[in-house]
Structure 1
Amino acid sequence: MAVLSISNAHLAYGHVALLDGASFSLEMGERVGLIGRNGTGKSSLLKILAQIDKLDDGLLQLQQGLTSVYVPQEPELRPEATIFDVVSEGVAEAKALRERYEIHDPEDDLEWVAERIEHLGAWNWEQRVEETLQRLNLDGSRIVGALSGGLKKRVALARALVAQPDVLLLDEPTNHLDLDAITWLEELLNGFKGSLLLITHDRSFLDNVANRIVELDRGQLRGYPGNFAAFTAAKAYELENEALFNARFDKLLAQEEIWIRKGVEARRTRSVARIQRLEAMRLQHAARRDVQGKVKLDIDTGGASGKIVAELDTVSKSYGGRAIVRDFSATILRGDKVGLVGANGAGKTTLLKMILGQLAPDTGKVQMGSKINVAYFDQMRDVLDLDATLADTISPGSEWIEIGNQRKHVKSYLGDFLFSPARANSPVKSLSGGERNRLLLARLFARPANVLVLDEPTNDLDIETLELLEELLADYDGTVFLVSHDRRFLDNVVTSTIVNEGDGRWREYEGGVQDWLIQSKRAAALRAKNEPAAVASAPAPAPAPVASPDALVVAKPKKLSYKEQRELDELPQRIAALEAEQTQLNALLNGSELYSQGAARIAEVTARAGEIDEQLLALMERWEVLDAK
């Protein structure tokens, strides 16, 4: 049953149709991920569904009595208020009704007020707020203005959830959240009882939360069952068919144009119906909105740096008595792609500045490499002059830029980043958040550099641009330092990950986020296994005897039981069977036949593929445990 829907929706800004006769419905209990290119109108659609903005034409229908809450990318919160006061805004009606009842105005209909209070659960609204704050691990007494971006996002989510809405509309909810907070948000949204519509470009987040993907593409809304992985396969098949149809259509149109231009004899015998069909084809071709081109990313590394970029020997750094970095050692070589992972405020920027020689450690030694040329991608976009034009931002005072041995006109270069020539003289302030990030990338890659420092480059970028950026960084000959909370992006780019493990301790792991999680899990299991055996306490009330050295010896691993040995012998066969089934399912998902078998079958195959991944991981871990014995 649909809780809200739009039909034959039209919305345009200037000459660009963001919605062109589009239709969409959100079912009860659905968790829908809304995706699409930057600037296609996703945020505008969310505001329309939240009844903040209106359609140019079309119909918006809401279920009677429906309550919905919209959380924008950058929530507006009163900086001088406490967290408790801001979250309480989510129950504003409940507060007002209870105050109205307690005043006892003789002219008021107190019976109706009492019924409404009962319906909203307004008698104990303070308890609802406190429970929500506790659930989201927020201190209600803190002042909002002093909070980090990640905590402000939590406060906005708390304000939305305390209202207990039927529909939750979220625009880029993972922006400013660290990895732990993103995992927490996934669990929170998976437990949400209402319907959810969210905009995000975090592919792992979509895979873990969404049960349907809706793409806004060239003014139309198209739904795909399952998570993002299922969408990717279905979309590839759809685009292949669309390209084939357009090629056939264009060939037929060209043939008809040749026929209509033939000599007098042909015109005498021409069919009126055929001429009418040609005119219809011309109109159809003119109205067709082709797939937007892809961003063309390229970068000039300039000269190569020395083999060693930086060498850190037991460096430490503290601020105000708090250890930010404690006894950290590492060697960064030319060509390394290093990810930095840690909670907001853990000290990623401080560590990065020490690696690059911009900040001296309190103790320890940092040895910088030679011939290093660094380019920075700024997370907060502070380097952008909002009143400057796009062209001046890329190449101030000149119409040309040089990238390696290539000389390009600035409009042509901006076109590589999907900015039309007409927009080259537009001010930066006219761009959306994703477009500003794309402009920053254009500015970054216009300068030669053999070391790239990217601080949250993925915020607001569309998925296609993210994937192209991944390819570019993977092929880049220089060194990359990447601060990001996008797990999929880190996994696809980095060769090692430096992780904050608390109390100023940092540790480098080979591989990306998933490799770190697996390695840290194994290390924790080994530590637990090697902990000293517990010493039995003496019966009360006699004093406990002093433990002898023999009692503190680490317990020796036991030999495998008959049942465990049999399980170990069977594991290779079970893993091989699952891997064979996994190969078959991947072939189905990557082929075209599956997507003609209906949504139920697609969802079934996708779910089974996910189950096999989990089962294989569990069997591998079990094998490691048994083999260690």
Structure 2
Amino acid sequence: MPYLTLSDASLAYGHVPLLDHASFQLDPGERVALIGRNGSGKSSLLRALAGQGALDDGVVWRQPGLHLGYVPQEPLFAPDMSVFEAVVAGMGEVSSLLAEYHAVAHEISASPERQVFLLDRLHHLQNALEMRQAWSFEAQAEQAIQRFSLDASARVGTLSGGQKKRLALAQALAVPPDVLLLDEPTNHLDIEAIEWLEDMLRASAVAMVFITHDRHFLDRVSTRIVELDRGRLQSFPGYFADYQAIKEKALHDEASLNARFDKLLAQEEIWIRKGIEARRTRNEGRVRRLEQLRRERAARRERQGRVELAIDAGKKSGRLVAELVDVSKSFGDQAVVRNFSCRLQRGDRIGIIGPNGAGKTTLLRLILGELAPDTGQVRLGTRLQIAYFDQFRTQLDEEAALVDVISPGSDYVEIGNERKHVIGYLGDFLFAPERARSPVKSLSGGERNRLLLARLFARPANVLVLDEPTNDLDIETLELLEQLLQDYTGTLFLVSHDRAFLDNVVTQIIAPEGEGRWYESVGGYGDWLEYQKGRQRERQVVQRTGGAHRTVSAKHPATTAPASPESLAEKSSAGGRRKLGYKETRELDALPGRIAALEAEQKSTMLRLEDPALYQAQPDEARRLSTRLAEIEEELMALLERWAFLEG
């Protein structure tokens, strides 16, 4: 028996049908990813399924007694509520009693002069909660708050965007729902929180429908993909790659069918215009067919166009973009950056990752010279033209018209050697001419991101700084942005929690190590993960061997301080180890040479991967070298473990 169904649903926004007699069914155990272009109506559909939005026509049926949890894209909470009050607010009639009990219990220790009154009130609340068997609800609320690493007494108004998203998830999951509806659950969450959420959702038995642009999240969590396209819902089994293959073929078949239809219609239009011949033959059936063809063509909804992205990299900057030497920055007792050194050159594409609050923005401002370090030196290159994409969109004036945001005081923008009218340029970013004078406040989240990208790309820049550019963008626009950045000849700094986007765009990662320490690694997010695993294996070897270890370099976590064959030979001849057989003795003697050869190959591979030109001229070779680098790390770890065993 399904949990919920949508039957013959219709919903229009102005003259645009968002749902056009659409149908959908969610069965127990399903995890459905709802995808589609920005503005296609995904959030409106999710609100209708949650019972928080009305349809123009059609029916939403929910199984009787169904407990449903809903997390909107931008959760709204009263700023003066505590986190505990916000979580229990979704628990029905007992929520106000639980919230008051929690507040009174905290006030007793803070107000000793009112202790008698407060204890009496607490006793009254306790009896009321026991009558409603609500103590399990309190335990569930506290468990959910702890699970999402929130402070129960904190005020909602003091929370960051990521914390508010976690709060909304805690509220929805405090009492385990039968069905969970999630609108962009990964927005504002850092990578660690996203991966935790993936694991939690995969392990739970809850059925869900979720909207996401995060392709990695989509592939790990979904059991089925449903696309909302021009008002219709179509289901695709399998992974995102399977959907892409099926969708590409469907669009090709649709284009061929439309071309044949348009050719037939054109032929019939030519025939009817002959007039005399058409009337003489009195072929009324053919006239009626033409009228039907005209109606079908008028009713046909064309697929929304693609965003046209282009950027002018301007004049080349100097070869050096920025150099940091032993840079440190603290705020009070909190060390955000400690003794960090790096050298960044023209053409580098750098991803900066880390948990929320780790100091990514601070590090970026230090690199760009916008913030002075407490100690150390920062040297900037020459001829830098910097363009900045702000995840909070503070550059957008809510009251300004779209044309004024793009080109204030002028009707034209210049992209490279091409001069475009601002209305046409906005059209490249899917803004219709009639919306050009609309204020920014009328735009959705995805539209605001597209507008900010349009503003960013309207000016030449040889250094791009993108802070969470992927939030609210649909998958098709994300892929176009990836392609643009891959072809971009300037220098890119990308702060992002989108793992697929990082893997497809950046050539090196800067990540925090804790206590204000940061390090660089070559490659994308997947390569960084391999480095992390290698470091973990190293720590395990150190623990097992009682201190025999390699020194990790500051720049490359997978790079080790080379141990010379002589030093290893000295260790192999030291006393105190168990007696070895002939074969083991020969193996131990050969290990120093094998390790030295691998470390030499590791060093030369990393030097090649440091060259930005390699990723543009020979992308396949870059991928091969990255794979080989990970293999070398695994081989080295295996040899070191074997050496430690034979030495033991």
Q: Report the TM-score, using the length of structure 1 for normalisation.
A: 0.82
The Cα shift of 1:559 comes to 5.4
RMSD of Structure 2 on Structure 1 (CA): 3.0
User: Are 2:225 and 1:218 equivalent residues in the alignment?
Assistant: no
Match of 1:153 in 2: 165
Quick one: distance in 2 between partners of 1:478 and 1:459? 23
- CA–CA distance in structure 2, aligned partners of residues 362 and 619 of structure 1: 40
- The corresponding residue for 1:25 is 25
Please name the residue that 2:7 is paired with: 7
Q: Distance in 2 between matches of 1:177 and 1:380?
A: 14
Query: In structure 1, what residue type is equivalent to 2:176?
Result: Q
- Contact 2:347/2:489, CA 8 A, preserved across alignment: yes
1:297-324: CA deviation from partner (whole Å, max 9, x where unpaired): 1111221100010011111111111111
The secondary structure found in structure 2 opposite 1:55 is coil
For residue 171 of structure 1, report the CA deviation from its aligned partner: 0.9
After TM superposition, the structure 1 = structure 2 runs for residues 107-186 of structure 1, keeping only pairs within 5 Å, are 122-186=134-198
Report if aligned partners of 1:530, 1:554 keep a CA contact under 8 Å in 2: no
Distance 1:458-1:627 versus aligned 2 partners, 3 A rule: same
1:201 to 197, 210, 213: 213
Instruction: Tell me by how many angstroms 1:227 deviates.
Output: 2.8
Give, in angstroms, the shift of residue 28 of structure 1: 1.5
Give the Cα separation in 2 of the matches to 1:56 and 1:620: 61
Give the gaps of 5 or more residues in structure 1.
100-113, 536-549, 563-615
Residue 310 (structure 1) aligns with: 322
Q: Does 1:498 align with 2:510?
A: yes
Cα distance in 2 for partners of 1:200, 1:66 equals: 24
Match of 1:477 among 489, 498, 510: 489
C-alpha separation in 1, matches of 2:219 and 2:424: 36
- Alignment deviations for residues 383-426 of structure 1 (CA, whole Å, 9 cap, x no partner): 11111111111111221122222211110000000101111011
Cα displacement string for residues 151-174 of structure 1 (whole angstroms, at most 9, x for unaligned residues)? 221111111101322111111111
Amino acid at match of 1:24: F
- How far residue 627 of structure 1 moved from its aligned partner, in angstroms, is 6.2
Instruction: State how far apart, in whole Å, the 2-side matches of 1:134 and 1:363 are.
Output: 38
Distance 1:378 1:95, change over 3 A: closer
Asked whether the 8 Å contact 2:530–2:630 carries over to 1, the reply is no
Amino acid at match of 1:506: W
Partner of 1:579: none
Q: What residue number does 2:75 align with?
A: 75
Give per-residue Cα distances to partners, 1:47-95, cap 9 Å, x unaligned.
1111111111111111111121211112122333332222121223345
- Return the offset for 1:142: 2.9
Hey, what does 2:66 align to over in structure 1? Answer: 66
Deviation string 1:427-484 (CA, Å, 9 cap, x unpaired) is 1111100000000000000111110100000000111111111111110111010000
Distance 1:316 1:171, change over 3 A: same
Using the alignment, how far apart are the partners of 1:387 and 1:301 within structure 2?
Answer: 30
Task: Answer yes or no: is the 8 Å Cα contact 1:532–1:554 preserved in 2.
Answer: no
Q: Give the aligned partner of residue 102 of structure 2.
A: none
Q: Secondary structure at the match of 2:328?
A: strand
Aligned residues: 546
Post-superposition offset of 1:253: 1.5
How far is 1:622 from its partner?
7.4
Asked if residue 452 in structure 1 is aligned to residue 464 in structure 2, the reply is: yes
**Equivalence for 1:521:** 533
Q: For each residue in 1:349-371, what CA deviation from the matched residue of structure 2 results, as whole angstroms up to 9, or x when unmatched? A: 11111111111111111111000
Distance 1:422 1:618, change over 3 A: same
C-alpha change, 1:76 and 1:555, in structure 2 (3 Å) is: farther
Give the unaligned 5+ runs of structure 2.
100-126, 548-573, 588-627, 643-648
CA contact (8 A) 2:465 2:493 kept: yes
The amino acid that maps onto 1:279 is E
* Cα distance in 1 for residues equivalent to 2:497 and 2:521: 16
Displacement after TM superposition at 1:200 (Å): 0.9
Write out per-residue CA displacement over residues 184-215 of structure 1, whole angstroms, 9 at most, x where no aligned residue.
11112112322111111111110011111111
The amino acid across from 1:144 in the alignment is V
Partners of 2:95 and 2:272 in 1: CA distance: 74
CA distance change for structure 1 residues 230 and 93 in 2, over 3 Å: closer, same or farther?
Answer: farther
Between the aligned partners of 1:307 and 1:618, the Cα distance in structure 2 is 29
Superposition deviation, residue 531 in structure 1: 4.3
Report deviation, 1:260.
Answer: 2.5
Task: Look up the equivalent residue of 1:399 and give its one-letter code.
Answer: D
Letter in 1 for 2:531: Q
Q: TM-score, normalised by structure 2?
A: 0.79
The letter for the 1-side match of 2:200 is L
8 A Cα contact 2:140 2:175, kept in partner: no
